[in-house]
């Protein structure tokens, strides 16, 4: 017979367990995740207090000693072990050390597509203590020059397949930037080559003290954030963010045995910090691909025994649009980590490709907060609770959709929204969650900060995203501010449309906005388009592309073909002007086109057609 008090305890525990099941169904998932967050927090705190940081690269070097023959990188079927990546990155470091132009703290801009040498160069330069700026290889000419000059590099390092892009910008590149090309020889003036010198360079490590980090806030990388407002901005990435990013896969439950498939461009934080960094944190293997291919995706996964994939929302949609193949579910992928998947695509994806745990992640490259859907609740970007908020303090505040700014009450303070209401996500900036801003750009840095929010002189990072928190503390992405318009009762996301159009090979840039048309509710979609140099405008292909990949309400009804992109002023001002001009033929000299479903193409907007639209003879 159990003593009375003991039955009491057992009964108590049982009812506690029942209570927990009923009222806190996510208790264990939350707790497990929280412990990981705490462990990570303690590690970072130790670094901060001791002033001796074990950086992600330090971890890599240790792994190269511990498991030299384990594959680190697989690219086009070729295996690069931990040791070989370490050695080749040493050669890069030794080459520039001997050469003598670079010193600790200098910035090097890197223009390279996804290939192993991207990683060798990145690691090699980091071993020298340089700050590496990852350039987006899809942008060209003036925007590219803008990106380069915004991070003031000593050197520009260019991949062999970027020769055309380099030739375009070379005449306008500042003289004091030295250019190195990843080839054996070059006919370009003032351009040095690397590959011919690499074999002669030693593969011994360069002195450790060059790379040793003393402060978590020291910059390590610049990553350009894809600008929905304005030209790309170079976000300063410190050791702290690299360490944070590298913990992502581990926090989601990936292990050293996992094989991670990276098809996203390495110049984005998702592939470089979360993917490559995460792979180092685990000591795992990653399979790198030059470019995402929807038709090759699953066959690659099978061929390489992939277990973890990285995605962005569009990628999942392309995969779902592929014709159904036999045995699609026969793969080993168990985890998909990324962001921006929509609820409907999420459901379809699971139905089609089997039981994959989707870990949706929210977090801007330069942001100070991240959420993880560690419970995998369909549609939700993550979950929060009292403890999580202690680590990552954030709030959702009331927002004025018309004026596109936070609502301030009569005392001048912002107010929190109730559960279930959409609010602007802001995260507190303080010494534990610092915001590092953008390189050489005080104005953009200031614009991202919201001050005097709840009390005098408090400071928050404005994510620009609207979120809803439900009563179970799940967070749902709602909208991006100032970035949508409504047409036929639907919300059209301008970034989504421009991402889809941007995939065409003749498009340099597509700027999407909504314009008013007399007699119609909402805003009709319009795209101002800049073509790549020497490419012609394929109106039929563009039509086919938008109707295939976009919902009908989101297809731009009008196109405006612009020759040059405004680089002066902010993008917002430029958009404002474009919106004001709309599709008014008499006010615009650029060629305009109209989406004609009967001709299955875009057609030139003639005076006759224009008048028919205005008079309502042609319906939109």
Ligand X SMILES: *[C@@H]1O[C@H](CO)[C@@H](O)[C@H](O)[C@H]1NC(C)=O
Q: Which residues bind ligand X (CB under 6 A)?
A: 29, 168, 304-305, 357-358, 375-376, 401, 479, 490-491, 533-534, 584, 586-587
In the complex, what is the shortest distance from the CB of residue 276 to ligand X, in angstroms, rounded to a whole number?
Answer: 20
Going by C-alpha positions, the residue among 489, 491, 511 that lies closest to residue 499 is 511
Residue whose token pair is 């006010």: 587
SS3 call for 357: strand
Q: What is the nearest approach in angstroms of ligand X to the Cβ of residue 466? A: 7
Q: Which is nearer to ligand X, 94 or 380 (CB)?
A: 380
State the minimum distance, in angstroms, from the CB of residue 365 to ligand X: 24
Structure tokens given for 496: 């989504």
Nearer to ligand X, 419 or 430 (CB): 419
Structure tokens at 414: 């912002």
Helix (H, G, I), strand (E, B) or coil at 473: coil
Conformational region of residue 235, where left means phi above 0, alpha means psi within -120 to 50, and beta covers everything else? beta
CB 433 within 8 A of CB 460: no
Q: Which residue has the tokens 């699609």?
A: 328
H-assigned helices in 375-414: 386-391
Q: Of 5 and 23, which CB lies nearer to ligand X in the complex structure?
A: 23
Q: What share of the chain is helix, strand, coil (3-state, %, to 5)?
A: 35, 25, 40
Least Å from the CB of residue 166 to ligand X: 11
DSSP characters for 192-249?
EESHHHHTTS--SPPPGGGT----TTSEEEEEEE--SSSS-EEEEEEHHHHHHHHTHH
Residue 373 or 528 having the CB closest to ligand X? 373
Please, which residue, 151 or 358, has the CB nearer to ligand X?
358
In the bound state with ligand X, the residue whose beta carbon lies nearer, of 2 and 587, is 587
- Residue 509 pairs in a beta bridge with 530
Q: How far is the CB of 572 from ligand X (least distance, A)?
A: 18
Nearer to ligand X, 358 or 501 (CB): 358
Position closest to ligand X via CB: 376
Query: From the CB of 408, what's the least distance to ligand X, in Å?
Result: 20
Work out how close the CB of 217 gets to ligand X at its nearest, in angstroms, rounded to a whole number. 33
CA atoms within 13 A on the CB side of 528: 22
Beta pairing partners, 312: 339
326 contacts 284 by C-beta, under 8 angstroms: no
Q: What is the 3-state secondary structure (H, E, C) of 284-320?
A: CEEEECCCCCCCCHHHHHHHCCCCEEEEEHHHHHHHH
CA angle 457, 462, 464 (to 5 degrees): 155
Instruction: Give the integer Cα–Cα distance in Å for 115 and 119.
Output: 7
Residue with smaller CB distance to ligand X, 395 or 479: 479
Min separation Cβ 508 and ligand X, Å: 11
Nearer to ligand X, 366 or 465 (CB): 465
For 300-322, b where at least 16 C-beta lie within 10 A, e where not — what string? Answer: bbeebebbbbbbbbbbbbbbbee
Q: Which is nearer to ligand X, 375 or 433 (CB)?
A: 375
């Amino acid at each position: 017979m159990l003593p009375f008090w003991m039955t009491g305890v057992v009964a108590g525990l049982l009812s506690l367990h029942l209570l927990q099941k009923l009222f806190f169904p996510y208790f264990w998932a939350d707790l497990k995740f929280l412990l990981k967050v705490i462990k990570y927090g303690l590690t970072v705190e130790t670094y901060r207090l001791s002033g001796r940081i074990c950086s992600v690269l330090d971890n890599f070097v240790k792994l190269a000693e511990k498991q030299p023959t384990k594959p680190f990188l697989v690219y086009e079927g070729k295996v690069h072990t931990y040791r070989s990546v370490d050695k080749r990155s040493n050669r890069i470091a030794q080459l520039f050390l001997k050469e003598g132009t670079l010193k600790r703290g200098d910035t090097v801009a890197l223009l390279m597509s996804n290939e192993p040498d991207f990683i060798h160069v990145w690691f090699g330069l980091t071993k020298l203590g340089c700050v590496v700026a990852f350039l987006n290889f899809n942008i060209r000419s003036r925007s590219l020059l803008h990106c380069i000059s915004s991070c003031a590099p000593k050197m520009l390092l260019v991949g062999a397949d970027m020769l055309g892009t380099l030739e375009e910008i070379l005449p306008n590149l500042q003289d004091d930037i030295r250019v190195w090309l990843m080839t054996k020889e070059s006919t370009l003036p003032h351009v040095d080559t690397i590959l011919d010198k690499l074999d002669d360079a030693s593969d011994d490590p360069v002195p450790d003290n060059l790379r040793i980090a003393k402060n978590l806030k020291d910059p390590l990388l610049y990553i350009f954030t894809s600008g929905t407002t304005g030209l790309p901005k170079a976000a300063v990435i410190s050791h702290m963010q690299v360490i944070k990013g590298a913990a992502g896969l581990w926090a989601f439950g990936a292990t050293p045995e996992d094989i991670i498939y990276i098809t996203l461009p390495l110049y984005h934080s998702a592939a470089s910090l979360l993917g490559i960094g995460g792979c180092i944190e685990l000591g795992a293997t990653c399979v790198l691909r030059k470019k995402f291919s929807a038709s090759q995706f699953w066959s690659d996964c099978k061929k390489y025994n992939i277990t973890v994939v990285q995605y962005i929302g569009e990628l999942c949609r392309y995969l779902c649009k592929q014709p159904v193949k036999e045995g699609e579910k026969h793969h080993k992928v168990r985890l998909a980590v990324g962001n921006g998947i929509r609820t409907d695509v999420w459901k379809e994806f699971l139905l089609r490709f089997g039981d994959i745990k989707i870990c949706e992640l929210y977090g801007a490259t330069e942001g100070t907060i991240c959420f993880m859907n560690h419970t995998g609740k369909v549609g939700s970007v993550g979950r929060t609770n009292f403890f999580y908020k202690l680590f990552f303090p954030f709030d959702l505040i009331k927002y004025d959709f018309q004026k596109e700014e936070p609502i301030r009450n009569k005392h001048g303070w912002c107010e929190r929204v109730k559960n279930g209401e959409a609010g602007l996500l802001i995260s507190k900036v303080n010494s534990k969650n610092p915001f590092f801003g953008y390189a050489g750009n005080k104005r953009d840095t200031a614009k991202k900060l919201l001050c005097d929010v709840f009390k005098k002189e408090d400071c928050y990072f404005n994510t620009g995203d609207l979120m809803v928190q439900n009563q179970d503390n799940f967070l749902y992405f709602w909208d991006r501010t100032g970035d949508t318009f409504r047409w036929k009762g639907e919300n059209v996301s301008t970034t989504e449309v421009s991402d889809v159009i941007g995939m065409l090979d003749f498009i340099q840039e597509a700027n999407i906005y909504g314009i008013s048309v007399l007699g119609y509710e909402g805003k009709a979609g319009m795209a101002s388009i800049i073509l790549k140099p020497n490419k012609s405008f394929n109106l039929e292909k563009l039509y086919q592309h938008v109707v295939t990949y976009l919902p009908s309400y989101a297809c731009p009804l009008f196109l405006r073909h612009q020759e040059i992109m405004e680089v002066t002023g902010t993008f917002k001002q430029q958009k404002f002007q474009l919106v004001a001009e709309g599709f008014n033929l008499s006010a615009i000299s650029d060629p305009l086109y109209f989406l004609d479903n009967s001709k299955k193409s875009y057609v030139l907007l003639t005076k006759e057609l224009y008048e028919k639209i205005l008079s309502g003879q042609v319906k939109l």
